[in-house]
Each structure stands twice: as structure tokens, then as C-alpha cells.
Structure 1
């Protein structure tokens, strides 16, 4: 493994730029996976990273050494940094010192919806986005489409919240949701407080797309008008609304329940 000890090293400067700048990550079409769990998930589902970076004190850690061995076996470059240089790259406090540099998914969105999917309109919070991705992957949903203005799906915060879900999903960013919905061959369901139809009354045992919006403003009215159905999640009147990530999880797993039982009740 190559050792880098100077903060003036060209590769280290590049890593520092990627770690600290969203625009640098976007320009390079790269991102960082921080910590053992994300690195293991990537190896399991996607293979070797572009680069494996390890802090000197963690090289002999039992989980890290296993990851390094797999990376080297697959021909990935691995470097060791002094702990102080590594910590300047990591956003995880008191974590095990390993991170991957990977290519951020830049796949082009399909022209038509045909499998279970999630559409996210101007979703802002990285934690909410990561949680929705995690729930979607857990529910067997395959595709996620994010509108322009949504949080970056491949940012370090979203990756940490997603806990490896990214590598089980097809994620498409900067998608014109109006065009996508208009060309859809499957129903589009949006949650709303202005309907009496609950998610427990509608047939979810079929391919469909869920539409969720901005944390405060909800789904854009023009998009809402294009939805096939609006559904609500029954709740106590004292609570005005649920967190969007919680709402999404409830919807996804009611769909799973209906797929298992074949019934809406």
C-alpha cells in the first residue's frame, strides 16, 4: 500500500477537495464512502472502488484489513494516511478510518416508468432523502427519480443515511418529473391531506410510482394534478403531518404487505 504523509501531496489535495466541496464532487462525478459498512456494501454490490483510503491506526483493524485485501485482489489502488490527514477527509466522528472514492451514478433516466419507483420533487433534507432510499431498497423498489433542486443523492450525508441502499437502486437525478409522469405506463400515487382515500383502501399490489415533495411545501400543485390518485395516511388530527421519510416508509411497506397477502385489507 502506498503511504502519503504530506498534505502537499497532489493526490491528497484532490481528496481534500472532494471531501469538502460539493461542486468538486459534481465536476469530477465522484463521491466518497466513509466507514466500514458503506465500503463493505459497495464491495458486495458494485465491486472494487476507484481508490481505498485508510488511516494508519486502522490498517490492522480486522474489518479494514479484510476490505483492503478484497480491494487489492480486485486491483484497486489503496493508500495509507497519517491519522491527522485522514481525519481532515472524514465527516464521521470516532469512526473506523476507511473510505472509498467511487464514481457517482450519472445514469440517464428511462423515458417511461414501468416498474415500482419513487419520484421526489424538490426534496431538500439529505437525511430524509437517505432514509427514503433506504426504505425504498428495503421494500424492493427499483428506481428513484429526483427533480432538479433536490438534495444531491450522492452527497456524503445522503450516503450515510442510505446505509448502502444506493447500491441496490437505480437513482436518476435532475429529472423532469412532469415529462416522466406524462409518459408513465403505471399509476402515480401522491400522498395528500386533502383526500379521504387512505393507503389501506387502494390497490397497491401492482407496479406503481410514489410521488413525494418538499418537506414544507409538499408536491408541486402541477405535479399533483398529474397524479393518478391522491392517498392519505390516517393519523391523529392533533398532528398536522408526518415527516416525508416516515410517510414514504409507511407507503412502501403497505405496498409490500399487499404484495405478500394479495389484499388491501
Structure 2
């Protein structure tokens, strides 16, 4: 039993040391006739040999019963040399060609032009470069075309690392008098409050354009670095991609946008950055006159406090690290002291031994006519430590009152920032109502 297999020429290349060789493969036929079982066995073997070559693309299939078929196969005339030395030489040549192309492309305009014109172009280019370097040395923000001037830095630049390392430490922040702010919105808050911006570090030009209307004309060093570097120094999971370094504002140079309420906050030993930031945010929203931080509170310029305060640092006078012995000197003489206290216990005044809360009574926060008072000071304690004895002593000496927020059964207390907002906006509501009535009466008196 003769089995005919077509001759198949495979379009395959085997790479040798210095040449590429085209070769083909021809399947054989089996010739066992007597033993049928043997024939089947040989057929399986030949089919497997054929199957090992099926992954290659055939160039031409020659069938045995097509005698008139013309075989027209192309032969490889050229031999491709794969010597590594030749490859290296070709790479060097291409690099030289690209270098010459860049050089010629830069000077193409000058070479094709007359000598006088090309000389003028080179002089203009040199003049622009000198002017740019001068602007950078003078810390100018805009050039003659009102474009923002910045210096592009590479990865791991020493100026950026030395600058940001210092601002991560509380001691270095106090020594240098500088504060790090992350995100263009907080930078805008600082610029609107007329705080002095020293450095601006960004990765995308779009973020820089958001600050264009608020940037000063001089005094800012602007650096562009890769986003990976900013992400490495960032304190958040997804960095906004821009840093601003301000001179730390003081309580004296804060710019106010409206007339404040006669209201002060005293933060008593608040150690959680998020809680202090929430209190500062509520103080700005309600229109506080100032905020006083006792010694032992968390650093007010901590990055977590700055983010949670949402720009309150630039709009509110903040006095920090005050000893309790010096606290009365920061208060107005006619101020009334109130303590936001979740405890409703009242001491027995007849029992002299029970002096935990002194002579400070407790009232619901809506049970006081705040508008009849000339000035108010609200003391807020931390959630972990609570109200200190110093606060009770100060309130007792000023005939103060403890304020309680009634809650549903099963709820012990509110967050410190939330409690501050509830009481402070009740105070604001009463003052606004009183001022509105007085204004209405004045208008009616003028009309009659």
C-alpha cells in the first residue's frame, strides 16, 4: 500500500553563525504491505513527524498528481551577516547620524540664512538665555511674555531633598519659620490671605496654570520635578502633585475677609490632628476672633492638621503653646467663659471635699442668651484627655458655665470638632438675630 505525501517547502529560516539558510522538509511514504498493523503504526509515526512542522508557514505545496504545476520559488541571494562587531559598528554609526541631525537641525536655520541673519539669530538666542538666567536668579515669576518661569530639575536633586527634609520636622519648621502646604487649593488660600510664598514645586503645568492669577510677580523659586519624586515626599495616598512652601503666618499678619464675632476658642490638650483641624475649620466658618492652643496640643502646622483645616491657618489668628498661667493675658477682660462638657454632673456646693468641677454649673447649649454678652470664650477639650483641671479653675475664677449637648440614649458624646461647631453656630445664630432686629428697628425709626 503506497501512501503519497505532498512535498511541502517550508518558509523557515535557521540562524547560523554568519548566515541565514532557507531549507525545506519532505514527508516520506510508508511501504509495509503485508502487515496491516505495521502500516498503521508507521502511519502514526509519519503523521507525528509531519505535525512537528505544522507551526511553520508553508511557502508552496506540490501535489504528486499535478505534473504540470510549475515550481516558482524565490531563492535568497543575499547573506545577512550577524556578527556582533558589525552590529555594534552600525549602532555607533546610527548614533553619530542622529547627533549630526540634531546639530544640523538646530543650526539649519542659521546655516541656510545669510551670515548676518544667522549671527543675529544666535545673538538673540544667547540674549534670551541670559535674560532667563537673570530672572531665575532674581526669583521673578513671569517673563516678558507673561509666561511662568520655572527651573526643571532631575530626579533626586539635592535642593529638593534638603528643603523637604527640614519641613518634615516640627523643630526645623519652627527654626526656619516655613510651612509646607500640599495641593493647589491650599496654596491659593495662602496666596489670597497675602501670605508670602517662598517655593513652588510641581510636576504638571496644568496645576501651575491654576495658580497663575494669584501668584506674585517676584520672590518665588519655582521647580518642576517628576511626579514620582513628589509622590515619594507626599503624606497622602494620592498626591495632588504640587507643593507650596510659605513663610509661617503669625497671628498679627493674618488677613481677615469679614468682621469676626466676639468669640474665642481655647483648645485644651487636643492631641489628634484631625480633631484640631476640624475645630479650626469650624472656627473660621463661624467667624471666630482667635484660637488659643494650650501647651500640650498637637503641632498646629502639622501636615494632617493643615489638610483637615482646609485653609483655616491662613484666615484665622492662632496662638499656640500657651501656658495656663499666661492664658488670662490673651483673653479680653469682659469675656465670659464656657466649657463644652459632655459630663452633666454637678458638684454639691455644700460639700467642700467634692471640688472636681469647682463651682461651674452645667446648662444645655441652647439655654444661654449669648447675644446679651459682650464677649465669649469657649473651651474645648480633647476626646482622650478630656477637660483639664486648669480649664475648670479658669472657668471658676471667671464665673463660667459648662455647656452640654443633649444626645439620644446610648450616645455618650460627640466628636470634639462637631461639638465645637454645634455650640459655635448657636452663638452665631443668636448674634445675627439680635443684629438683624436692631437693624430693622433702626430702619423703622428712620422711616417714621
TM range (shorter): 0.7 to 0.9
Query: Following the alignment from structure 2 to structure 1, what is the Cα–Cα distance between the partners of residues 410 and 201?
Result: 49
Conserved 8 A contact 2:196-2:247: no
The residue that corresponds to 1:33 in the other structure is: 181
CA deviation string 1:72-116 (max 9, x = no partner): 5244221111112222222233343111101223558xxxxx942
1:197 is the counterpart of 2:363 = yes
> Residue 200 of structure 1 aligns to a residue in which SS?
helix
Conserved 8 A contact 1:121-1:146: yes
The residue that corresponds to 1:119 in the other structure is: 266
CA RMSD of aligned residues (A): 2.2
Query: Following the alignment from structure 1 to structure 2, what is the Cα–Cα distance between the partners of residues 204 and 74?
Result: 47
When structure 1 is superposed on structure 2, of 25-34 and 128-137 the one drifting more is 25-34
Query: Following the alignment from structure 2 to structure 1, what is the Cα–Cα distance between the partners of residues 327 and 168?
Result: 33
1:259 is the counterpart of 2:435 = no
The residue that corresponds to 1:209 in the other structure is: 377
CA deviation string 1:186-232 (max 9, x = no partner): 11110222354111011222421110112222111232132121111
The residue that corresponds to 2:56 in the other structure is: none
Conserved 8 A contact 2:277-2:305: yes
Conserved 8 A contact 2:153-2:223: yes
Query: Following the alignment from structure 1 to structure 2, what is the Cα–Cα distance between the partners of residues 72 and 169?
Result: 22
The residue that corresponds to 2:235 in the other structure is: 91
Conserved 8 A contact 1:159-1:166: yes
- Give the 3 Å change call, closer, same or farther, for CA 238–26 of structure 1 in structure 2: same
Query: Following the alignment from structure 1 to structure 2, what is the Cα–Cα distance between the partners of residues 261 and 107?
Result: 29
* Structure 1 position 123, deviation (Å): 0.4
Q: Which has the larger radius of gyration?
A: 2
Query: Following the alignment from structure 2 to structure 1, what is the Cα–Cα distance between the partners of residues 249 and 196?
Result: 15
Name structure 2 gaps, 5 residues minimum: 1-149, 253-260, 345-360, 436-448
Conserved 8 A contact 1:153-1:159: yes
Query: Following the alignment from structure 2 to structure 1, what is the Cα–Cα distance between the partners of residues 428 and 182?
Result: 31
> Residue 187 of structure 1 aligns to a residue in which SS?
strand
Conserved 8 A contact 2:264-2:376: yes
> Residue 188 of structure 1 aligns to a residue in which SS?
strand
Query: Following the alignment from structure 2 to structure 1, what is the Cα–Cα distance between the partners of residues 227 and 219?
Result: 24
Query: Following the alignment from structure 2 to structure 1, what is the Cα–Cα distance between the partners of residues 172 and 196?
Result: 22
Query: Following the alignment from structure 1 to structure 2, what is the Cα–Cα distance between the partners of residues 149 and 244?
Result: 16
Query: Following the alignment from structure 1 to structure 2, what is the Cα–Cα distance between the partners of residues 224 and 105?
Result: 31
Conserved 8 A contact 1:52-1:71: no
State the TM-score, normalizing by the size of structure 2: 0.53
- Give the 3 Å change call, closer, same or farther, for CA 258–115 of structure 1 in structure 2: closer
The residue that corresponds to 2:321 in the other structure is: 174
- Give the 3 Å change call, closer, same or farther, for CA 77–69 of structure 1 in structure 2: farther
1:231 is the counterpart of 2:432 = no
CA deviation string 1:110-132 (max 9, x = no partner): xxxx9421101110010000110
- Give the 3 Å change call, closer, same or farther, for CA 244–43 of structure 1 in structure 2: same
Figure out how many residues of one structure are paired with residues of the other and give that number: 253
Conserved 8 A contact 2:284-2:316: yes
- Give the 3 Å change call, closer, same or farther, for CA 36–101 of structure 1 in structure 2: same
Aligned mate of 1:157, from 301, 304, 315 = 304
Query: Following the alignment from structure 2 to structure 1, what is the Cα–Cα distance between the partners of residues 427 and 265?
Result: 13
- Give the 3 Å change call, closer, same or farther, for CA 14–141 of structure 1 in structure 2: same
CA deviation string 1:119-154 (max 9, x = no partner): 011100100001100010000002011111101111
Query: Following the alignment from structure 2 to structure 1, what is the Cα–Cα distance between the partners of residues 381 and 328?
Result: 14
Aligned mate of 2:337, from 184, 188, 200 = 188
CA deviation string 1:17-69 (max 9, x = no partner): 135333322332221110021011111112441111111xx11x1x5313156
Conserved 8 A contact 1:71-1:78: no
Question: Which gives a bigger RCO, structure 1 or 2 (Cα 8 Å, sep 6+)?
Answer: 1
Conserved 8 A contact 1:49-1:76: yes
Aligned mate of 1:221, from 367, 381, 389 = 389
> Residue 201 of structure 2 aligns to a residue in which SS?
strand
Name structure 1 gaps, 5 residues minimum: 109-113
Conserved 8 A contact 2:195-2:247: no
The residue that corresponds to 1:65 in the other structure is: 209
- Give the 3 Å change call, closer, same or farther, for CA 17–130 of structure 1 in structure 2: same
